[in-house]
Amino acid sequence: MGSAIVEQYLRSGASVELDELLVGRRHEVDMNRFLMFYAVRTLLQQHGMGPFESDWEAGRTMALLDA
């Protein structure tokens, strides 16, 4: 199910944003989790949620998936 969400809602800018996070290798990033977060955030924004709210809600969603 997660991969279907990623494929449907992943924007082209996800790889650019990921590259920016990885510059200098200062952050350790799980590529699959990042892409899922990015897709959930995009889905929320497409349904009218603002950028800060969608970041927070996507983070909450990811935390619930870990539980």
**pLDDT tens, the chain, 67 aa long:** 556 666 666 666 666 766 776 676 666 778 788 888 888 898 899 999 998 999 999 999 999 988 7
Number of domains, the chain: 1
Domain ranges, residue 13: 2-66
Q: Residue 2 has what pLDDT? A: 58
d(CA 57, CA 41): 8
The confidence score (pLDDT) of residue 13 equals 66
What DSSP letter does each residue of 1-67 carry, written as one string? -HHHHHHHH--TTHHHHHHHHHGGG-S---HHHHHHHHHHHHHHHHTT--HHHHHHHHHHHHHHHH-
* Per-residue model confidence (pLDDT) at position 56: 95
Instruction: Tell me how far apart the alpha carbons of residues 36 and 42 are, in angstroms, rounded to a whole number.
Output: 10
Predicted model pTM = 0.66
